[in-house]
């Protein structure tokens, strides 16, 4: 069966993903602050806009029109981004349901867990995790029903000096058919590692640079 993919518009990311993110599935880019997660979503947003409208749920106020224009976006493009900015975890699911009957070519949620982390505590842990699972199940349904890619980003926390864990842990891992870990190497360089994929080898990695144009293959350095 042929799997449709949405290109990132940049060769280095497409080489990691064998052409781009898959239709009908959730792709999850995760990493610490400043690791390039939002830059990745903006690149895929630009590609999605070539096909039609894009639904963009921004829970961290991270969407920068200045950055969007810098990497090639236009004011005309902005008209085809259905931008939602929920202020609570309950509102997050409401704005997701607004996307159900719209003709979209891509859905972005940046970040999936920032509002979740603000609300979860020892008392409501089970309830909030069930709500997170329902939201992810709904996004998975939209991806399959519309045959489009869904891309989410995820925050992380430290388990120890050598290990990080995704916020939402197994719930998020289960629903994400592709996991891309982003690690910060220095101010501009990042490491993108494929941690989970339905058809590609885990552990595949590329070194990238955040540039004015977007994301590019890291240049060779002599130390």
Q: Which residues pair with 109 in a beta bridge?
A: 57, 152
For residue 37, tell me if it sits in a domain: yes
The pLDDT value given to residue 223: 46
For residue 86, tell me if it sits in a domain: yes
Q: Which residues pair with 207 in a beta bridge?
A: 191
The pLDDT value given to residue 170: 84
For residue 78, tell me if it sits in a domain: yes
Full residue range of the structural domain in which residue 58 is found: 5-217
The pLDDT value given to residue 222: 44
Closest CA relative to residue 167, chosen from 127, 92, 203, 115: 115
User: What's the CATH code of the domain at 196?
Assistant: 3.40.50.300
- How many angstroms separate the CA atoms of 181 and 196, rounded? 9
- How many angstroms separate the CA atoms of 41 and 152, rounded? 8
For residue 88, tell me if it sits in a domain: yes
The upper half-sphere exposure of residue 203, i.e. CA atoms within 13 Å in the direction of its Cβ, equals 1
The pLDDT value given to residue 35: 93
The pLDDT value given to residue 38: 97
For residue 213, tell me if it sits in a domain: yes
The pLDDT value given to residue 163: 58
For residue 140, tell me if it sits in a domain: yes
> In degrees rounded to 5, what are phi and psi of residue 44?
-70, -30
pLDDT along the chain (223 residues), means of 10: 91 97 97 94 98 97 96 98 96 96 97 91 91 96 98 78 64 94 90 95 96 90 50
Cβ pair 57, 189 in contact under 8 A: no
For residue 222, tell me if it sits in a domain: no
Give CA separation, 151 vs 186, 202, 219, 222, in Å.
25, 19, 27, 35
Cβ pair 173, 179 in contact under 8 A: yes
- How many angstroms separate the CA atoms of 112 and 220, rounded? 34
Residue 46 three-state SS: helix
Tokens of 95: 């704005």
For residue 223, tell me if it sits in a domain: no
Tokens of 25: 């599935």
- How many angstroms separate the CA atoms of 143 and 22, rounded? 9
- How many angstroms separate the CA atoms of 60 and 127, rounded? 22
- Angle 185-152-16 (CA atoms, 0-180°, nearest 5)? 50
Domain count, the chain: 1
């Amino acid at each position: 069966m042929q799997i449709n993919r949405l290109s990132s518009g940049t060769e280095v990311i497409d080489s990691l993903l064998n052409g781009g993110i898959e239709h009908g599935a959730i792709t999850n880019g995760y990493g610490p602050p400043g690791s390039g997660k939002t830059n990745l979503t903006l690149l895929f947003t630009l590609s999605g806009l070539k096909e039609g409208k894009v639904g963009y749920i921004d829970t961290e106020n991270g969407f920068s029109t200045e950055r969007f224009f810098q990497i090639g976006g236009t004011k005309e493009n902005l008209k085809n981004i259905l931008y939602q900015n929920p202020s609570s975890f309950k509102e997050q699911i409401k704005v997701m349901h607004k996307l159900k009957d719209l003709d979209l070519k891509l859905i972005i949620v940046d970040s999936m867990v920032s509002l979740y982390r603000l609300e979860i505590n020892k008392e409501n842990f089970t309830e909030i995790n069930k709500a997170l699972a329902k939201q992810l199940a709904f996004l998975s349904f939209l991806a399959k029903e519309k045959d489009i890619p869904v891309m989410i980003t995820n925050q992380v926390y430290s388990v120890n000096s050598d290990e990080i864990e995704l916020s939402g842990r197994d719930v998020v891992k289960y629903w994400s058919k592709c996991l891309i870990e982003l690690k910060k190497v220095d101010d501009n360089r990042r490491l993108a590692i494929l941690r989970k994929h339905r058809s590609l080898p885990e552990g595949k990695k590329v070194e990238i640079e955040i540039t004015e144009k977007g994301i590019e293959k890291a240049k060779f350095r002599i130390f």
